[in-house]
Each structure stands twice: as C-alpha cells, then as structure tokens.
Structure 1
Amino acid sequence: MRAAVPTQTRRISPLAVVGLTLLRLCELALLGVLVGGLVGLAVYHFYSRDLPDPGRLATHRPFETTRIYARDGQTLLYELFDAGQRIVVPLDQVPWALKAATIAVEDGNFYDNPGVDIRGIVRALYLNRQGSVRSGGSTITQQLARNVLLSPEERGEQSYGRKIREAILAYRLSRQFSKDQILSFYLNEVYYGNMAYGVEAAAQGYFGKATRDLTLPEAAILAGLVQSPTELNPLTNPEATKERQRIVLDLMVKQNMLSREQADVAFATPVQLRPSRVDIRAAHFVFHVREQLEQQYGAELLRRGGLRVVTTLDPAMQGLAEQAASQHIAELQQRNAHNASIVVIDPRTSEMLAMVGSVDYNNQTIDGQVNVATAPRQPGSALKPIVYAAAMMAGWTPSTVIWDVPLDVNGYKPMNYDNSFHGAQRLRLALANSFNIPAVKALQFTGIDAFLDLAHSMGITTLQERDTYGLAVALGAGEVKLLDLTTAYTTFANQGYARPTVSILRVSTNHGEVLYSYTPPKGTQVLGSKGEAIAYLISDILSDNAARTPMFGPNSVMRLSDDRPAAVKTGTSNDYKDSWAVGYTPELVVGVWVGNTDNSPMQEVAGANGAGTIWRAVMEQAHAGKPPQPFERPASVEEAKICGSTGLAMAGCPDQIAERFVQGTQPTPKPGQYITVTVGGDGSCLATDLTPISERQQKTFLLPPPEARGWSGPPAPTQPCPAPPSADGTATPDGPDVVAAIDSPASGATLGSTISVTGSAAGYYTLAYGAGQQPTTWTPIAEGLGGVDHGLLGTWDTATLPNGMYTLRLEVALPGNPPQATLATVRIDHDRLAVRLTLPAPDSSFAVGTSVQLVAETNGPVARVEFVVDGQVIGSATQAATWSWLASGRGRHTIEVVAVDVTGQRTTSPPVSVLVQ
C-alpha cells in the first residue's frame, strides 16, 4: 500500500495581504462611487422635473399683490404693491459697503461657490436632525432662485425636497449668469421691510437718499434687515436694528473686509432715519396686521401671493377715534402733550375695531411711525383693577376694609395722589378713588407672583422679569402695552373669560380658497371658579359714580351721558409722562394713552384730564343713539346690608348700606375686628353704673391695627364718664386726675393664655372679667389697696377659658366718692396664627454661594408665607412653605418668616440668626 503524500501549505507574504486588501477596498470604493453617482443622478433627475427655466430671471416681472380690507370686505386699507416701491439700480451704482455687507451676512463664499454652499447644507441638515433651531444654509443664489423662480406655495414649504429643487436651480443660475449679475438681481429683488423692495426703495425709504450715497453704517443696517425685515425694522425696533448692525460689522471684520477699528467707528456713528411719507388708511393697524400675516404665512407669500385679507377694522370707528385723538391733542399741546393712541375692541368677539398708533403717522416730529399702542409704557393706576381682582380671588370682598395710613415696606413709602391718608377704606372705595396705599396692601396680600400670573393670563405680554418687580408694580412701576391692557379689560367685560384680541377675520387666495376664518371662541375663565362674579364686581365698582365722587367729583369725564353704565379706570405715570384711561361698556372696550413718544413729561396732564377726555369722546360718539345697557349681574352675586364704617354685616348699625358679594362671602363680624361699648353723654366716654340710663347708648367702633391708630377716626373711649351731680345739686367732689385706667391690654387686643394687666388705680380697686362685650356677671381677678400708677394691677390666667370676647373691668373706690370703673374689651384666641422657621437651625453656618433651604411651619391655614432676610422679602410661597436662599455676603444674617392669613393679618416668626462665611 502506497503511503499518502503530505500536502504542503502555501505561505502568502504580508505585503501581498495588504495589496489584496487595498484592491478590495478600491473595488468597494469604486462601487460606492458608482452607486452614489447613480443615486445622486436619480435624485437630480427626480427633483429636476418641471423645474422652471433659470432664464426667466432675466425677464422676471412683478408679482400679484396682496390687498388688506376693512371688516366690510369692500374698503381697501392698503395694497402691498411694487409700483413706486421698487426702483432697479445697476450694480455699479451700489456702493462697495452694501455689496460687502450683504455678502458677509448672507453668503460669505458667494464668489467662490457654485450657487450652493455644500458645507452650509450639511450643517443645516445636521442641526435640523438634532432638533436645533432651523438652519437654512441658503446662499444668495439659492434665495434668489426661491424668491423668483419657485411658486409662492412652494416657497413656504419646509421640506428637503424644496431645498434640493432650490439647490439645483441655484446651480443652474450660476452656470447661466455671472456672479455680478446674480448679485444685481438679488439686491434689486430682496425685501427690506417698510414696503421697500430692492436697495433703492430701501435707501430712500429709510434714509431719504439714493443707494450710491449710502455710508458704511447705513449699508450694514440694510444688509442686516433681510433676515427678518419686520422684527428688525429700524423705525419700530431701533434697539434690535442696532444689535443686528453690530453682527454684520463683526462678520465683515471676520472675513477681512474691514479692520476692527473701521467696524467700531461705523458702529459708533449715529444714523439719521428719514422715512418717506406713506399714504395709507389706518397705517399702524395695517402694519400690525401685516406683521401677523408674515408670522403666519411668511413674507414672500404675503407680498407675492395675491392674498385677500379681511380685517376686523370698522372704518367709522377708526374715523371717530382718529378725530377724537387729533382734536384733543390739539387742545393739550400747550401743556406739552403731543401724541395719543387708542385701541377699541368689541368684548363680545374680541375683535379690534380701531387702532390709532399716533395722531399722525407721517409726522416725524412726534415719531409718528412708532405704534404707541404696541409700545411698552408705564400705566400708573390703570393696573389696579387687576391687583384687586387677584385679591378677590384670594378671598377679599368689595367690603373688605383696607387701612389707608402711612406705610413703610423696607424703605418703600408709597403716597396717595393727593398726598393725604384716608383711614379705613372699603375695597370698593379704595379702587373707585384710586388710593395708592390700599392697592399696595392688596398686592402684599396676594403676592406679586399671583398678580403677575393673573395679568399674563388676561393678555399682558410684558412684566416678564419677575425678580425685578416690587410692590410699586401695583401702581404701574412696570411697563405694559396699551393693546395688552385694553385686552385685559376686555376680560372683565367678558365675565372673566380671556381671549386674544384679533385683527383678522378672513384670509383667502386670489382663487377664492379660504386659508383662515375667525370664529370667536368662548375663551378661558382666568378669574377662578367664581370668575363671572368677580368680573361683575370689578365692573360694578369701576362704574360706581357715587363711590368715586370723593376724589373725582360727581361729574367727571368717567361719567357718560344718560348715566350709561361704563366701567373705567385712569392712570398717570411718574412725572406726568403717561396719561391713561381704559374702560368699557357691555358693547365696547376703549383704551387711550396720551403723552410724548420720546417720553418727555407733560405739564400736569393726568389720566382724567388727558386720556380721560379722549376716552369719553370716543365712548359718547360710539354709543350715540343706542340705549344704555347694564352689566349683566350673574346669579352668583347677591346683595346684603353692611355697616359702612366697618364693612361688616351687623345688626343695629347706624350707617347701613347695600353691598354686593360673591354668593356666600358676605362678611360676618369676627372677634377682634370691632368693639361695641356702652357710652354715655356725647359718646366720648364709657358709661358707668352712675351714668343715667337715659344717657346710655351702645356704639360700635372698628378696631384698627397698631399702624393705623391715630388715622382711624375717633377711637373707642377708654375712660369712664364723670360722676353726675349729687342729689343736692352740687357737683360730686373731684378726686385724683386718674382714678381708674387700664393701660394694657388695650381694647380690641387679641390675647393668649396668661396676661399681665397694667394700669392705674387711685384707691381700693377690684379687677374682674366677664364673658362677652356686655357681661352680666363678673369673675374677680385681683384686688388691691390702690396707689398703683401705670403698674401691675393683676395677672389674668385665661388658659381654661374658651376662645371669644371678654371684658375687663377695673373699679376703684375713693372715700367720699362713688366707685369709678373703666372697661377694656379683648379677644381670647388660643388658636391664633403662629409661625416659626424650622430650617435652618439658629446659628447655622454656610459657605458663600450655598443654596440654603428655608422651611416654615404654621399652626393653621394661611394665604401665603413670606421669607425675609435682613428685612428684605426674598420670596413668597402659597403652597409648600419653603424657599431657597442663595447665601451671599459674609457675616451674620437674620431670617424671618411672615404668615399672612386670608383676612390680611400678618404674624412674624421669631428671628433666626445664621453665619455666612
């Protein structure tokens, strides 16, 4: 048998392995290139189908115009047309600065790319896939292709397919036209805002000069407008324009077009705007509508797509508003008031019927092109209805008593318009008369956050920097827009239901296709579960002519003819820079501002004698011939009798008045709010056993908080009436000046368990207490021989007594004289509100920058808890009683918490000292 021959394995050298590998890779790469090329070719042919001929660019003609109509669909307000707005200029008349600035900000590689920036497209695709802000990656050539060659409908698409078609067109344009031709087409086509298409119209429209005369600072501004011409409009938003100019100049430096010194000089050079006159009906309203249309449909479709827009504007209402503004400003010019703005809204639909942005759009002296209706200004007292609405949502009523007395909150000392204090004021009177201090206290009660939340839900779009506002915001320290504030008042007129104010009824194409049609929604109830009732009560107070008479008189501008119900509030900012009046009937809401666009002060033009006069003129004319309509009172509002002096529903009150309340919120008397005592003579002294029965009478007094004493009118008497003459007709012999007096506790005080009673007793005395305000039985506390002068009379242990009202009696007997007595009525409340800080612990130490958790604890329900560090309120909590404090400032710091109950009473915790190091 033949042996098997062993096989020999063939060895392959490493060099051969590498060679084979490279060969395979090359084959794969070649295959990939072929496949990629085939795919790319297929994509190119697929998206090239039906593409327009790039040659059309040379014969491009103006597009179809968009028309904006009044609400009747017939009255043309404005036509977005090209005629007179585009003037073609050759490229050699365009200064280097504008060409360079445009290329720097729009397409830095313009002269080098083939019409498409591949890196820009890849970057845009990456950012879009990552969910970042949409990045277009469009070159100047692509923008030109999109704006001129694609249809208006396709321009508005946000799709990769449109991007590919746009890129193909741009590539073809670059092969058919030179770069200078493309740049010339672009500069004559692009939209610069303010109805200016092309550089020549923009140069004349903004600067009043030809393109060839533009300076570098002006060129940088124009080049920066292309990205967002409405938002960056230098006539209406100069701050944003200036920021954009800096970006353009920086890009020119980055691309070595300018030196840093040249860019800085250009940025610092002032630019004089010389806008051209625009003949247009309701110009500010039209531009307000245009801005909304651009946001919804894009600028290109708006200016090229031939849209038909029917707005909410009522030409008759607009006309009478313009006339009222012009007429009354002419009368106020001698007091340095030169401008006015008006907004009129139908509260039943939230449709804007008129908008006067200034008295003369074309008057450059008053900056007439600035729309003051959408410009933030300080509203003064016109914000107060929102403050009080928030307070009502938190439990206050129209009869809640607020003390209008001197107030000092960490150095902030608000004053009233008349520099006076008015003592106890029911909420109705405080709001109707526009007293400042009660409004600040109402904001203290609700908390700034709750007020801002309500304001924003009602339509206020400003007041966003919460940490910067203090209590002065209740008096208009923040800035709001007239349109926003009028919208907020519309919420009151609409029973608490908030809706955005609309200015467009219908948008359709030139073929009749309806793109948008407005149907009024019910809105969102923003005043809470009792919103309809609260809205009605605010309307009832603001239309109460009798309530506001003490400050404004019975026949102010706020009172309409035929006593037509109209709720209105005026406002005046500091130094008379802004005069406001916003008010409404069930059919109409009118907001008016008077002042100067440059914020210069007027000469004592307040809300009533400035904006108020225009408000009344518009209201009277708008309602002429129409019967007065009352504010509809919801079933959840009921009427009750209250005591005018105390705001409480009390039997036997001598000054009873009718008040309206949310059902179930009528204020019932609570211990500590008032005291009823038996007085004698003229009512200035307490009746004693010696006072004739015929001279005794019961009298009720409101018990003021400590800070209001001295401002609250005649206090409850604390001294007994003098003894009557003796039987033989001679006067009872006089004794010491002070026979009997209780110093502490004072009448009306709320007390805890063990009480030290101090005072004076000239002779033998007995100290006793009885239940209620007119006890029939007395329980002894202490007795003594007398001779006590403002000292301790006795110690009263109330630990076993139930909560309630009690009366202390000090009776003193002097030889040869009948006994004399004095009384003090107090409240025992073992469950009174208490608050303490549980974290941090006393004497804790923290490093600078540590977030310290502050935790408070109360023994009952509260409206809110305020956290105070070194006397400054740093936060307010309405839910969990916690707050985070960022430890700063080395050294000792004192932390306290203040609990505020639903009646507005405040209790402060014992202070806790901590060390920051």
Structure 2
Amino acid sequence: MNNKYLFFLMSFVVILLGSYIFLPLVNRSLGFPSIDNITEYEPISSIELYDYRDSFVGFLQGHEDRQVVPLSEISTLLKRAVLAIEDKNFYEHIGVDPPAIVRAFFVNLQAGRVVEGGSTLTQQLIKNLLIPEKERGRTLGRKFKELLLALEMERKLNKDKILELYLNQVFWGNRAYGAQRAAQRYFNKKASELTLEEAAYLAGLLKAPSAFSMNRRAGEERKKLVLQKMLEFGYITQKQYKTAISKKLIFSSSPGQFELYPYYFSYVLEELKNRFDIEQLREKGYKVFTSLDPDAQDKAEKVLNEEIKNAPGGITQYALVAIDVKTSQIRALVGGVGDFWKNQWNRATNPHTIGSAFKPFTYLTAFEQGIIDPETTIKDSKFEIIDGTGMMWAPKNFDGKFWGTITVRDALTFSRNLPAVKVAYKVGIEKVIETAKACGIETELEPHLSLALGSAAITPLEAASSYATFARGGIYMKPILIRRIEDPKKRIIEKNIPVPQRVTSAYATGTLVSVLEDVVKRGTGALARLNDRPTAGKTGTSDKSRDVWFIGFTPDLSLAIWGGNDHNQAINSKWVTGGAIVARVWKRFCEAYYEDKDIPAGTFPDEINMKIVLVDPLTGLLATSYTSNPVKKLFVPGTEPKEYAPIPPGAAKFSPLVRFLYGPFLNKNRFLEKEFDPEDDKKEIADQNKTEINNDLEEHDKEDNGEEKNDTQETEQKRHESKAERRRKHDPRLLRMIPEEGSQNENADEESSNGP
C-alpha cells in the first residue's frame, strides 16, 4: 500500500512539472474525455415557469432539479463559505493543490486506505461533469484522471467561470441541484438573498448533502465549522461570527414541482410534451411564460375547496376555467379539489355533459339565419320525432310541464327544452354544430337533435373559450396557455399572439347576449348576478343532475364552472341544478376576482350593446302614436331607423292647441334612447298589448251581439262559430310564431331529461 502511494506521489510530481504544456495531448493519449466543449457546457436544469406578468412562479424539473444563475446572482457570503470549507486556495492554485495532495497522502498513508482526497473545486467539478458514475469510487486511477483534466480545465477557463459552473452543478441534498435551487428549497429565497448563517449552513452540506440535509443537528454543527473557517481565513469579522453563531435558522421550503397550482402546471406540461422534446427543454433550462394570474388561481382554488364542503350529496368535485376576454389568455385553471397527488385527473380539460348550457349555440344559429328574434313567439308544447335509432323521441321540460306560447327570450331565459328542440329542428342540427365549432367547441359533436338540449360532453376550457366568443361580439380567439418560450440565452423559441377571427355577426351575437343577460337578471342564472358590472351566462344541468354548470361572462372575463363527481353517479334531486348550485359559486369567485383589481365595470362591445326600438311593422320605420300594433326590434347602435312612420290616411287629427302643448311628445319613440332592459320592456309591452287586445275583443263582442240580433241571413256556420276562434283570427299578434310541425299545447307531468 505504501509503495502505491509513493508511486502515485512521484508520478504526480513528474507529470506536473514535465508535462504541463502537453496536457491535451497527454490526456487524449490516455483516453481521457475531452473538455474542448466545456466552455459551452450548460448544467442540466429545469423548465422555469413565469406568470402573465413575467414573474417566476414555479418549475418543471428534469432528472436534476436545478435553476442555473450567473455568478453575480449568487451571494458573496455563499461563495466565501464554500471556498472556506472546500478549497481556500482556489484562486491561487492551478487546478490542483500540491500541499493539499501531500497532506492527503500522509493522512491516507496513516489510515491505510483512501480517506482524504485533497481535491480542489476544479477536481470536484471534473468528477461531476466528466467522470462516469461507475468510475467515481475512491481509486488512484480516478484521482489521477481528475488531476490531469483539472489542470487542462484551468488552462481553458478562468476562475470565476469554474466557480460558477461548480455552484450551479453541485448537489445540495433535498432534491436540490445548484445554489439557486438550494436557497429556494431550504430557505425559500434566492441565492443572492442568503444571510451569513444560511450561507454557512448550505456550504456545510456539500461534504455529505444527503446525510446532513436529513439530520438538521448535524447540519447545524457543520454550519459552526464553516463559520470558524471563514473567521480563520479572514472572510468575516469576529462580530459577524458571533452574530451568525447565535442566530437560529428558519427553514421555509419553497414549493417543488406542482406544489403550487398543480392542475394549471400539469396542463402546461401536457401541452409542452405535445409540441416539443420535453427532456431537451428541461435539460437546457428553457423559460415558459404562461398566462397564469396567481391571484386569480389562488382565489379559484380557495373558493372551490371551501364550496365543496357545502355542496349537496353527490357533488364531490368542481372544475373552473377563467379566460381574459380581451387577450384570450387562461388566467386560472382548476381541475379539481382535494389532494392533486391522489387523483391527478384534470377535470378542467376533460369533457362533461353540458346540458342546457349548449342552448345558446342553437339560438345563435337561428338569430344568424334571421329565422327568429327574441320577441318571436314559439310554442312550449309537445314535440315527437323518430331518432337515429328508429325510436320515438319525445323530449320533456325540466318541470314536466308546457308553458304554451312564449317568446324566444323567455324560452332561453327560463331554459325551456321544447322551444330549443324546435328551433334546432328548424335551423338544422348540422348548422348548430357549425356554430358551436366556430365559437370554440373542439370536441366531436354527434348530429342528433338531442344535442340541442346539451347531450354532448365538452370541457370547461372549451366552454369558457366559446362563451368568450359571445362576449367579444362573435369574434373567436384561440385560448392561450403559453405566451412564449425562451431558451437560456433569452432567444424566443415560440410566441403566441391572439388572432381575432369573426365567426358570427355582431347583430346575431348581440341579440344572443341580450337574452343571456336576461338569464342572469331574472332567469335560471339569477344567483350569478353581479351588481356592479354587466353579466350574462347560461345554466346547465345534465340528466339526473350528474353534471351541473354555470358558464358566464362579463366584458372582460369568461368563466366556466362545472360540478359533479368522478363516477358519473346520478344525484336524482330536482333541486340540484346549475342555477341553484354552481351559479352561486360562479358569483363568489367573480366577486373575489374583482375585489382587488382595478378593473372598471365596462360594457360589452358597442356592436353588441343592443338597443331595443318600437317600429312600424309595415314600413320598418319608427313607430308613432298612430302606429297600429308596433313591434319591438333589436338594433346595433347606430343602425336603428331614424325616421318615423308616416301618419296613415284618415288618422285622427290633433287640435292646434294639443299639438302646441304636446307636439314634441306625440311622435316620440320612448324606447329609442333607452338601453335594453328586458324586465321594463316586457312589462310595458305586455300592459300595452293587454289593453289593445281587450279593447279589440270588446269591440268584437259588440259586433257579435249586433249580428246575432239583426243579421237573420247569416249562415249556420257563421252563427255557431266560437267567439274565441274569431278573436284569434282577428288579432294577428296571437298567430305570430315560427312554423312548427306536429306541435301541440298539452300538459305533461313526466320529469325532463335536462334542466336549466
């Protein structure tokens, strides 16, 4: 053994003195690895994640959890602590430290085995970078190889570069590689922010990182040793030493991979895997700039985890997606409640039956085709049709009843099923599918009429994206999860910018939005109403309440929330609906979201901020006091008629005095400058229609009485004709409805398959 050590020492001296200038040639001749590309070396790193404001929020780690930083971003205290305990002569030696080697030689000689290596930081770096794992045992051959390669490295790199590589490469225990991740893992701070006692603790771990990181007491003892060495070598003063020795370390680990926002970042990882070599991104330390708003994500997770405790039986999970309307960036995405590691299924990006929240696509298609408008009447009555399997399909309403003749506005506001099916039948279910896909639904949709009631399963992400199209007035933008990707040298690898694409007309979309505002003002979504800003949306409940939804939007945020369970179990309670359960959760998140944000209430885009106007049905001009049976029409602001309908021939004339006193008001259309308020308009028009119809019917009653007394020549058929039938024939308003085939106004007591 002694002969081996003597031979090693003599060989070292000879090679060191005689072959220094021929190191590359010697190393290659001995079959040692080349370090020609060492200047280009970049340690294996992690994918760094940033939020929508470019602030660091997390990482996706590779085989080694590391964040590479330049030497200037590492605390001087940490650099001095490492040098004091590992290589105090680092800035003086040439890659190897002869005195240290001689000292190690005699220590090992006395012990009879290799117990001390005398390695410099440069040699340790060579071992980590160029020596294979299987060759890292304490052997003379390995030490000899390290020695020669260290000499060569010192000729190619300056001291600061070697120290930077070392501090970023070395393992610090607790799954942390590199100084930056070690500082984050142990103290939840950057490497540049470390205090003296923290720097000493980390430097002390390097001798046996796994052992010392698991044994805090041993780590504390190593910290004291490091501080003594720093004092001994003049790196710190006596006062600094005493202060650091007396201070108690406060450990505060930063979150690891997926510990913060696990569903959001797992979706980011999934998207990266679909488009890139994920291991290359990890090892190179790429930076991924996401659309995440940490404040929104925190509030979303908090609200859902609290609300699930009060959810009715059967509702065991929630999912949420929030999209910025103007940028189409995904601000928050929560795929479930509870422990992510027990069940990593992302419910925000997986489909669930949408129920009545699909109805807006049907009505939007009809508005686009001009077949109906919100004031068109339609029968909420029985409808039967042979389905694709040859079976008779007879959909029902949620309450098992039919309401008879109602307006399209009320049909959607109160989520009546039969009118939606009839409209879909009229426009064609294929056209409805085209509309849904144009708005942002990517899931394959089967062309069955039941789709009108939401038989399809879509993801909350698709739901939020498609409703954002409504909020933009018919302009679709692909949702953006990742804004850009940069390599370690800040070169942009990918950049995603929203591309606006008009998919539906402003008029048709604005018409739909006006009705969806009614859903929240007075319909099935009333529990979602926000008092300080415009709100629109739609409830959704699938068969037997397996899935409950509310999808809604404001001028700047589109938000979809789903509730249900992972086993698709029926809940069988008519009180468990999207409007009764999820709408309230939706409102609570929105209130929390806007609480700390300086976002004005705003309005929907001008082109869909519709105005409602009374017009003359014959001329299409503004109705006047002379107009018979004026009708309500929606107009994009600026497109409404400006002229009044002419006075019909023979109309009553007002006296000069009346015209002088009331002239300005006689022809004024009181709705012209009024923003659309369905409740006021409905009441006013209903009262007006009721008065006019009653007057008409009274007049006809008089005529009927006169005819019965005086017209003895009337035919038998006319004498026995019912007054009700004659009234319906007389007033065309009672007949104004879209054509229907086989519809009957009957009552039914069966339960419906889809709720509001």
Match of 2:653 in 1: none
Note the residue ranges of structure 2 that are not aligned, 5 or more in a row.
1-30, 36-40, 67-128, 131-174, 176-255, 387-391, 646-688, 744-756
Amino acid in structure 2 at the alignment position of 1:330: K
Matching residue of 1:370: 345
Root mean square deviation, CA, Å: 4.7
Secondary structure in structure 1 of the residue aligned to 2:720? strand
Alignment of 1:876-915 (within 5 A): 904=739
* Counterpart for residue 527 of structure 2: 557
What residue is the counterpart of 2:398 in the other structure? 417
Match of 1:437 among 418, 431, 435: 418
User: What is the CA distance between 1:648 and its match in structure 2?
Assistant: 13
Residues 548-589 of structure 1, C-alpha deviation per residue, up to 9 Å, x if partnerless? 34x66xxx3121123x21011110000111010110011111
**What is residue 271 of structure 2 aligned with on the other side?**
292
Of 325, 337, 344, the residue aligned with 1:359 is: 337
2:316 counterpart of 1:341:
no
- 1:526 is matched with which residue: 499, 503, 512? 503
Write the deviation string for residues 37-87 of structure 1: whole angstroms up to 9, x where unpaired: xxxxxxxxxxxxxxx99999xxx99822211222232232223232489xx
Report the residue type matching 1:408 in the other structure: E
Name the amino acid aligned to 2:454.
G
- Indicate how the Cα distance of structure 1 residues 381 and 677 shifts in structure 2: closer, same or farther if over 3 A, else same: closer
Q: Which amino acid is 2:583 matched to?
A: G
Is the partner of 2:303 in helix, strand or coil? Answer: helix
CA distance in 2, matches of 1:309, 1:609: 39
TM superposition shift of 1:360: 2.5
Q: Does 1:595 align with 2:595?
A: no
Q: Does the 8 Å CA contact 1:428/1:547 hold for their aligned counterparts?
A: no
Amino acid at match of 1:427: V
Among residues 260, 272, 296, which one is paired with 1:281 in the alignment?
260
Show the counterpart of 1:399: 375
Identity of aligned residues (%): 25
Aligned with 2:578 (options 607, 632, 644): 607
| Amino acid of the structure 2 residue aligned with 1:541 | V
Distance in structure 1 (CA, Å) of the matches to 2:360 and 2:507: 14
Give the Cα–Cα distance (whole angstroms) in 2 for the partners of residues 613 and 75 of structure 1. 33
Q: In structure 2, what is the Cα distance between the partners aligned to 1:545 and 1:420? A: 20
Question: Is the 1:643–1:649 Cα contact (8 Å) retained in structure 2?
Answer: yes
Question: How many residues of Structure 1 are paired with residues of Structure 2 in the alignment?
Answer: 461
For 2:691 and 2:580, the matched residues in 1 are separated by 46
Gap change, CA 1:430 and 1:54, over 3 Å in 2:
farther
1:535 aligns with 2:509: yes
SS in 2 for 1:373: coil
Confirm or deny: 8 A CA contact 1:680 1:686 kept in the other structure: no
Structure 1 regions of 5+ residues with no counterpart? 1-51, 86-147, 150-194, 196-276, 669-674, 693-719, 725-731, 751-772, 775-804, 806-824, 828-901, 909-917
Displacement, 1:437? 0.8
Secondary structure at 2:260 match in 1: coil
Task: Please give the alpha-carbon distance, in whole angstroms, between the structure 2 residues aligned to 1:53 and 1:500.
Answer: 53
Greater helix fraction, Structure 1 or Structure 2: 2
**1:680–1:421 Cα change, 3 Å:** closer
CA contact (8 A) 2:324 2:330 kept: yes
After superposition, where does 1:159-178 map in structure 2 within 5 Å? none
Separation of aligned partners in 1, 2:695 and 2:60: 83
Alignment of 1:236-275 (within 5 A): none
| Whole-Å separation in 2 of the counterparts to 1:608 and 1:689 | 50
Q: In the alignment, is the contact (CA less than 8 A) between 1:429 and 1:548 conserved in 2?
A: no
Q: 1:660 aligns with which of 631, 634, 637?
A: 634
1:316 aligns with 2:286: no
- Counterpart of 1:28 in structure 2 is none
Alignment of 1:103-122 (within 5 A): none
**Which SS does the other structure have where 1:620 is aligned?**
helix
- 1:677, 1:283 → 2: CA distance? 61
CA deviations over 1:224-268 (Å, ceiling 9, x no partner)? xxxxxxxxxxxxxxxxxxxxxxxxxxxxxxxxxxxxxxxxxxxxx
**C-alpha displacement of 1:687:** 3.7
Instruction: Identify the match of residue 436 of structure 2 among 455, 459, 464.
Output: 455
Match of 1:568 in 2: 537
**Alpha carbons of 1:525 and 1:61: their partners in 2 closer, same or farther (altered >3 Å)?**
closer
Task: Return the alpha-carbon distance in structure 2 between the equivalents of residues 505 and 682 of structure 1.
Answer: 64
Amino acid at match of 2:366: A
Contact 1:381-1:475 at 8 Å conserved across structures: yes
2-side partners of 1:586 and 1:280: how far apart?
33
User: Which of 433, 452, 472 is the equivalent residue of 1:474?
Assistant: 452
Q: Indicate conservation of the 8 Å contact 2:377/2:738, yes or no.
A: no
Residues 380 and 643 of structure 1, relative CA distance in 2, 3 Å threshold: farther
TM (norm. structure 2) is 0.54
Amino acid at match of 2:374: P
Q: In the alignment, is residue 501 of structure 1 matched against residue 479 of structure 2?
A: yes
Q: Deviation digits for residues 120-178 of structure 1, max 9, x if unmatched?
A: xxxxxxxxxxxxxxxxxxxxxxxxxxxx99xxxxxxxxxxxxxxxxxxxxxxxxxxxxx
Give the deviation of 1:320 after TM superposition: 0.7
Going from structure 1 to structure 2, the CA distance change for 1:652 and 1:375 (only over 3 Å counts) comes to: farther
Q: Indicate if the aligned counterparts of 2:318 and 2:561 stay in contact, CA closer than 8 A.
A: yes
More strand by share: 1
Residue in 1 that maps onto 2:752: none
SS at match of 2:563: strand
Give, in whole Å, the separation in 2 of the partners of 1:442 and 1:53: 79
* Alignment-derived partner of residue 177 in structure 1: none
Structure-1 residue corresponding to 2:359: 384
Q: 2:308 maps to which residue?
A: 329
Q: Given the two structures, how large is their TM-score scaled by the length of structure 1?
A: 0.45
The answer to whether the 8 Å contact 1:71/1:311 transfers is yes
State the AA in 2 paired with 1:304.
E
**Structure 1 residues 349 and 635: CA distance shift in structure 2, 3 A:** closer
1:546 & 1:304 partners in 2: Cα distance?
Answer: 50
Conserved? CA contact 1:78–1:281, under 8 Å: no
Q: 1:653 to 1:741 in 2, by over 3 A?
A: farther
Conserved 8 A contact 1:283-1:361: no
List per-residue Cα deviations over 1:413-453 (Å, max 9, x = no partner): 11112222112222221111111111111111111111111
Contact 1:398 1:661 survives alignment (8 Å) = no
For residues 259-286 of structure 1, what are the alpha-carbon distances to aligned partners after superposition, in whole Å with 9 as ceiling and x for unaligned? xxxxxxxxxxxxxxxxxx9752211211
Where does 1:819-830 land on structure 2 (aligned, <5 Å)? none
Corresponding letter in the other structure for 2:385: V
Q: Is the 8 A contact 1:397 1:661 kept in 2?
A: no
Whether the aligned pair in 2 keeps the contact of 1:393 and 1:534 (CA below 8 Å) is yes
Q: Which has the higher contact order (CA 8 A, sep 6+)?
A: 2
- SS of match in other structure, 1:374: coil
What's the offset of the Cα at 1:519? 2.6
| Distance 1:415-1:342 versus aligned 2 partners, 3 A rule | same
What displacement does 1:354 show? Answer: 0.3
**1:634 aligned to 2:634?**
no
Using a 3 Å threshold, how does the CA distance of structure 1 residues 665 and 356 change in structure 2: closer, same or farther? farther
In structure 1, the residue matched to 2:593 is 622
CA contact (8 A) 1:640 1:660 kept: yes
